[in-house]
Amino acid sequence: MLNVNNAETGFDALGLPEYLLSAVKALGFDNATPIQVKTIPSLLEGYDVLGEAQTGTGKTAAFSLPALTKIDVSVKKPQLMVLAPTRELAIQVAEAIETFAKNMKGLRVATLYGGQSYGPQFQQLERGAQVVVGTPGRLMDHLRRKSLNLSNLSFCVLDEADEMLNMGFLEDIEWILEHLPESTQMALFSATMPNQIRKVANRFLTDPVHVKIEAVKKAKANIEQFAWKVSGINKITALERIAETVDYDAMIIFVRTRNDTVEVAEKLERAGYPALALNGDMNQAQRERTVDQIKSGKSSILVATDVVARGLDIPRISTVINYDLPGDNEAYVHRIGRTGRAGREGIAISFVRPREMYSLRHYERLTSGVVKPYELPSIQEIGKARIERTRQEMAAIVTEKDLTNMREIIEAMASESELSMTDLAAALLYQKQLKQPLQPKEDPKPRREAKSRSDRNDRNDRDGRTRRDARGEKGSRAERAPRKAKAVRNDIDWQTYRLEVGKEHGAKPGDIVGAIANEISLDSSYIGQINLHERYTYVQLPKGMPDKSFKQLKRVRVRRQALEISVSEAPIASERRPRRSERTGNAN
């Protein structure tokens, strides 16, 4: 076994090539974590590694960086495969690898997990993905279908092996590993080492370097933790209320995917809360410019993913919002640690769906703290905050500006119209608050939140392996038992529109309805027939759509495809709502 020094070490000293070092430095990482220091040199030298480490210790970089050095991008076949227990972790790992490999032109990553149509996954593999990240069930299916060829695989990673054991994947893992070439280098990571995992390691790893890392430090005591149970209103509306009423210096909002950073930031912008997105698709200059704007106070809201936020140190961040819960518990500690810096107080608010409430116990144990229930600001509190903010703005204008001319104009208006100064002031105030009412009214029927990409991925945390239908396909309860469709209104003059997204992209009728309803605040009863085709979709909407709504929908993305909505004269077959099978999105 190699004996690797555990002292704090810069990435430059680990033997990584420049094209990876520059990508790592662009993320703001200077010093490697203990697991990276102990693991990277061993993997670079060709040793197998058996790692005992909690999530959140830097494992992804520890195995991804050395594995990427062994990939030949000119060979369009899988050379690195990572097994993850859940689709959330698979997506997170895949995006991290893409970020680390941004200087490797021609490298493609395929993410394979259950609950998603096979079509897009077949395309990723056919295009020559050199990296495959997936959950055991879906990887097995692709191997059986022969859509996944491992003959060129040089590196394989088992991430969170104990979690896969807990989820009943042990036999699946062994079956997959039996299909690897004899020469494949292996890395197995697990927070604990039960006997079954040790047996897998003894069987499939060759003289591995054993790396053991202690859990990350607990969160600081000056961070107050809260959890809002998602109910009644959608998450973006809740976020707007917090942004408007909570007293914060700067706020960081954590979402699960790169697409979500852009989506949430754009929605906040449209609602009047300037926000910046930070994700792995940005180059170093863009990233530095974004961080500088937050540090300097030019902007105060940052929407980011875990990967790019790990190296952030912005003292003025006072509030952390977990818009999506992290894929693992340790990542929660890293997230909330972005606030409460330099002895300051900070708060962290997590948006928790009912099925995720169990996570709060883990967070409390990891942080030695208490996660308190959070009550969203009421409409009345929002009204009070707006009135007070307006009063302060007006007082500042009176103090700082020369209003001589304005007073003369107002006095003349009052004299000529026989209106009181109070009436004129009230009229001006009324005009000012039209876009954002000073006394907002509660929506009696809150809109259902359109599922974001990450929310849709939440539906089946175990890759669907425990629920097989008669065809052997894996699917979550939500996919097999959709809600009953609302009746279509017959008092509407319909217009057919074409959307440039279809079955081939993995789109389902529910995605279309959710995207349209959420983007332009349209009740689903005003969405008519939906006909999904391979590369496009026809949908009926009320004739005479406002130009503003039309432009908004052109920018909306479903399954990473822009809708690019256009008017169509094509008839919609049978003038009917989609059948049950169509609404569940069975594109196979």
| Angle, in degrees to the nearest 10, between helices 258-270 and 235-245 | 60
Tell me the mean pLDDT in the region 245-264: 89
Report pLDDT for 472.
Answer: 36
- Give the chain's mean pLDDT: 80
Contact 254, 326 (CB under 8 A): yes
The answer to whether residues 229 and 112 belong to one domain is: no
Q: pLDDT class for 314, splitting at 50, 70, 90? A: confident
The span from the CA of 258 to the CA of 246, in Å, is 26
Contact 6, 31 (CB under 8 A): no
Q: What share of the chain is helix, strand, coil (3-state, %, to 5)?
A: 40, 15, 45
Within a domain: residue 442? no
The answer to whether residues 411 and 530 belong to one domain is: no
Report pLDDT for 274.
Answer: 85
The answer to whether residues 372 and 386 belong to one domain is: no
The answer to whether residues 228 and 322 belong to one domain is: yes
Report pLDDT for 577.
Answer: 40
Number of domains composing the chain? 4
* Stretch among 372-376, 531-535, 583-587 having the lowest mean pLDDT: 583-587
Return the percentage of the chain with pLDDT > 70, whole number: 83
The answer to whether residues 372 and 406 belong to one domain is: no
pLDDT for residue 50 is more than 60: yes
Whether pTM exceeds 0.85 = no
Within a domain: residue 465? no
Domain that holds residue 347: 223-377
The span from the CA of 550 to the CA of 567, in Å, is 10
The answer to whether residues 396 and 538 belong to one domain is: no
Within a domain: residue 501? yes
The answer to whether residues 271 and 369 belong to one domain is: yes
The answer to whether residues 269 and 335 belong to one domain is: yes
Q: pLDDT class for 9, splitting at 50, 70, 90? A: confident
Alpha helices in 219-310 (DSSP H): 235-245, 258-270, 284-296, 306-309
* Stretch among 130-144, 234-248, 280-294 having the lowest mean pLDDT: 280-294
Which of the given ranges, 156-160, 258-262, 517-521, has the highest pLDDT on average? Answer: 156-160
Report pLDDT for 216.
Answer: 53
Within a domain: residue 408? yes
Within a domain: residue 554? yes
* CATH classification of the domain holding 551: 3.30.70.330
Within a domain: residue 476? no
Encoded tokens for 393 = 């703005």
